[in-house]
């Protein structure tokens, strides 16, 4: 039995080159389905689905951190009588994460972040923001103050993303400024601090963010900035 695990776009390239056929596929797995929509890959997924055997003739599995209307529509359209299984730990935070919250004004967030990064042992920190523009702006401000930082958003090409993550893992970057979409599925050892520069809009994203620290039995710190713009999003 052969299993193929590839990016949807690469699969389509091989399919069009007639490297393989999809007619014999008996099992299909889509991981991080919500991210496929966020990153614009869903057209590729639909292209492949339309060329698979009928849904009654294959096993189909779909995994997603969130079940939006779009994800549910995808499931019910291309899966055979799907059943939903939920992990009941979405709102439970890690016991080993020390959580703090500050209430700065919007214009005080950058100075506060700089101060915290410079005064604590934060050699490997992830700073979460809500938009690509914020990621670029915060990264630029950190770099101007001599902090080795990189920006990771959904628009970053895969090769550049891999290079940034490798530099961060190797200690060549002190801080990674990331959006939720870009950081989905990240598993980096040794992250000491997570900063919610912008608070997320729901509790699931908050749990996912702070789960980037305190991994494999270690302890970690999660620091949130509740400015007037995002204070209503406090979990």
pLDDT in tens, 117-133: 988 678 789 999 999 99
CATH code of the domain containing 59 = 3.40.50.300
What domain range is 66 assigned to?
8-78
Give SS3 for 166.
helix
Is there a single domain that holds both residue 106 and residue 176? yes
Distance separating alpha carbons of residues 121 and 36, to the nearest angstrom = 36
93 and 204 Cβ atoms separated by less than 8 Å = no
Say whether pLDDT at 231 is over 80: no
89 in a domain, yes or no?
A: no
Which pLDDT tens digit goes with each residue over 130-174? 999 999 999 999 999 999 999 998 888 888 988 999 999 899 999
88 in a domain, yes or no?
A: no
129 in a domain, yes or no?
A: yes
- Nearest Cα neighbor of 94 from 225, 186, 210, 216 is 210
Prediction pTM value: 0.65
Average pLDDT for the chain: 85
Secondary structure (H, E, C), 123-140: CCEEEECCCHHHHHHHHH
Which pLDDT tens digit goes with each residue over 168-195? 989 999 999 999 876 776 778 889 999 9
**pLDDT band at 58, cuts 50/70/90?**
very high
83 in a domain, yes or no?
A: no
DSSP state of 213: S
Q: What is the mean pLDDT of residues 66-81?
A: 86
- Nearest Cα neighbor of 169 from 217, 123, 229 is 123
Is there a single domain that holds both residue 106 and residue 52? no
Q: What is the mean pLDDT of residues 212-218?
A: 79
Phi/psi at 221 (nearest 5 deg)? -125, 135
Secondary structure (H, E, C), 45-66: HHHHHCCCCCHHHCEEEECCCC
92 in a domain, yes or no?
A: no
84 in a domain, yes or no?
A: no
**pLDDT band at 1, cuts 50/70/90?**
very low
Is there a single domain that holds both residue 115 and residue 207? yes
Strand locations in the chain (E): 27-30, 59-62, 97-102, 125-128, 149-152, 175-178, 193-196, 220-225
DSSP state of 198: S
198 and 75 Cβ atoms separated by less than 8 Å = no
How distant, in Å, are the alpha carbons of 145, 190, 217 from that of 171? 18, 10, 20
Q: Domains in the chain: how many in total?
A: 2
């Amino acid at each position: 039995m052969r299993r193929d695990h590839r990016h949807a776009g690469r699969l389509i390239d091989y399919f069009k080159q007639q490297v393989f056929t999809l007619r014999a596929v008996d099992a299909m797995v889509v991981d991080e389905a919500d991210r496929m929509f966020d990153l614009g890959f869903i057209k590729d997924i639909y292209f492949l689905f339309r060329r698979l055997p009928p849904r009654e003739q294959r096993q189909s599995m779909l995994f997603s951190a969130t079940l939006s209307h779009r994800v549910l529509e995808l499931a019910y359209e291309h899966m055979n009588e799907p059943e939903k299984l939920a992990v009941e730990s979405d709102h439970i935070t890690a016991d080993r994460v020390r959580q703090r919250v500050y209430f700065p004004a919007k214009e005080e967030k950058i100075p506060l972040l700089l101060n915290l990064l410079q005064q604590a042992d934060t050699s490997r920190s992830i700073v979460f923001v809500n938009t690509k523009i914020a990621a670029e702006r915060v990264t630029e401000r950190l770099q101007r103050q001599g902090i080795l930082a990189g920006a990771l958003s959904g628009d970053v090409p895969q090769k550049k993303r891999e290079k940034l993550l490798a530099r961060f893992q190797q200690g060549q970057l002190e801080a990674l400024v990331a959006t939720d979409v870009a950081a989905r599925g990240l598993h980096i050892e040794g992250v000491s601090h997570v900063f919610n520069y912008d608070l997320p809009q729901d509790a699931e994203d908050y749990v996912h963010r702070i789960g980037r620290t305190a991994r494999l039995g270690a302890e970690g710190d999660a620091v949130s900035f509740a400015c007037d713009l995002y204070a209503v999003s406090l979990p």
